[in-house]
Chain A
């Protein structure tokens, strides 16, 4: 495309929309559980699969999951990556202050994997298959940040 002598202007549109999203019963119970230093999942009445965080529909068999179960706080590190960047506001890629680890943990007895931060270990010592356990924030409030990270068990 040729660069045309175009006249345009670049307005800043001062509109930031805020959406009010209800979290739904699954996440609500999960967060309340976190406030008690418990990890809750949902169990499928049909196939028995356990999902964390809880869902209301089973991913495998589409049955309605109404049963909440407390699950183990220990599990296996199935996968992880070391992050050197941060996505700020979902837009800008910036260098992270220091490398951090994002892992996928299979809690004992749970079929789905939980995405969580892994700390308390040098990234070079991490191994897929190692046992990890949940570490809570000092003061829990029934919020997403209560489950702070997982560390080697």
Chain B
């Protein structure tokens, strides 16, 4: 059994349209990563492919992506959910002691090839929700936003505060795609309405994205990098599918996932011990909602915390210092984008966005309408 597993390196590409083929995208990412580290595909003991057949437009879609990723005649498996679960698979393989390295290869061309909304649209029951036609990820998110704000007694302004903070940070982050000048509350409020109270800038932008993440055992990590970022804990959990049976005012599955991750990481006072969080908040309200559910913000205090600047860089618990998912997000790759940003922070390589003294991070990924499924990774240096 391995004792520790580290994130050793990563490579990320995103744009509204990457003008590429899926094969070229994964080839460039994997080849690029190998060249940077001075290794080749034979250094990888296991390939954890991460994409979704439905979005790829092909079934068993990784049959076309294995060879360009370097997985020809290599150990390979596939995860069709948010990338944090692919990281979990890779991590478990190394923890078993049978593998030294694992490479997560993730992609989704949901900017140019197909709409990202298709992902959740086709998660709906063809026998009921799809026929009735009222539920989609936007209407669901809007209903959750309303329920949450109402239950906590927050004003709708909280959405603008969250989005403005995220977009201001995203504007400074070269890895994001929505980099707006004059990103601020006014700009957010002037964007078009979708389902009230959500406006366009409260929602993530459709994105073409690809990402590879290299995991290694402690021994191997020492050969590959002098800045390993350790995986301290992981948890995942899933809520019920039935929309009418969910408590939209909170995320019980995010709470459960976080609890497991904290326990594995040996954290007893997460709000104090976590230095910052990168949360996959696809809609503005999800950021405070998930943060509260995961115990990072006290329940009922989110609006106060945002107004006081607690969640900004320099505050008591920065959330999404990278700008978060409102700057760029795609299914599968989404959680990995958050993970890569967290890795940069922990390595001290976040440039203009660098936080001081960041040593422990919470990374979160989600799937399904209103984050039905949640995965949490604790990273530390």
Contact = CB atoms under 8 A, between A and B. Distances in A.
Interface of A: 1, 3-4, 6, 8, 13, 19, 21-24, 27, 51-53, 55, 59, 79-85, 87, 90-93, 95, 102, 104, 111-117, 128, 144
Given A104-B143, A115-B132, A1 B13 contact: yes
Contact of A112 (B114, B115, B245): B245
A16 B13 CA distance: 30
A8 B24 CA distance: 11
Nearest to B122: A90
Interface in B101-137: 114-115, 117-118, 121-122, 126-129, 131-132, 134-136
Contact of B127 (A27, A84, A93, A128): A27
A59 to B, nearest CB: 5
A94 to B, nearest CB: 11
A1 B138 contact: no
A62 B97 CA distance: 38
Contacts, number: 110
Contact of A87 (B20, B138, B147): B138
Contacts of A87: 117, 121, 136, 138
A65 B31 CA distance: 54
A21 B127 contact: yes
16 contacts: A1-B15, A6-B21, A27-B128, A52-B244, A55-B242, A59-B240, A80-B143, A81-B143, A83-B142, A90-B117, A90-B122, A91-B114, A93-B117, A93-B138, A113-B244, A115-B243
Contacts of A82: 193, 195-196
Contacts of B242: 51, 55, 59, 112
Contacts of A81: 139, 142-143, 146, 195-197
A114 B143 CA distance: 13
A115 B243 CA distance: 8
Given A81-B143, A83-B142, A91-B118, 11 more contacts: A6-B21, A6-B24, A22-B127, A23-B128, A59-B242, A81-B139, A83-B195, A85-B194, A87-B138, A102-B134, A111-B245
Interface in B189-211: 192-197
A113 B131 CA distance: 17
Contacts of A1: 13, 15, 18, 20, 28
Contacts of A4: 20, 24
B248 interface: yes
B150 interface: yes
B115 A91 contact: yes
A90 B136 contact: yes
B57 interface: yes
Interface of B: 13, 15, 18-21, 24, 28, 57, 114-115, 117-118, 121-122, 126-129, 131-132, 134-136, 138-139, 142-143, 146-147, 150, 192-197, 240, 242-245, 248
A79 B148 CA distance: 10
Given A87-B121, A90-B118, A19 B195 contact: no
Given A3-B19, A6-B24, A59-B245, A84 B128 contact: no
A91 B117 contact: yes
Contacts of B195: 81-85, 102
Contacts of A51: 242, 244-245
Interface centre among B127, B142, B192 (most CB of A within 10 A): B127
Contacts of A19: 126
A79 B18 contact: no
B73 to A, nearest CB: 27
Nearest to A55: B242
A71 B121 CA distance: 29
A118 B243 CA distance: 17
A113 B135 CA distance: 13
A21 B131 CA distance: 12
Contacts of A102: 134-135, 139, 143, 195
Contacts of B192: 84, 95
Given A21-B127, A79-B143, A91-B115, A114 B244 contact: yes
A131 B149 CA distance: 21
B124 to A, nearest CB: 9
B289 to A, nearest CB: 15
Contacts of B122: 90
A144 B131 contact: yes
B117 A115 contact: no
B134 A116 contact: yes
Given A79-B147, A92-B115, A144-B132, A84 B193 contact: yes
Contacts of B194: 83-85, 93
Interface centre among A83, A128, A144 (most CB of B within 10 A): A83
B114 A128 contact: no
Contacts of B136: 87, 90
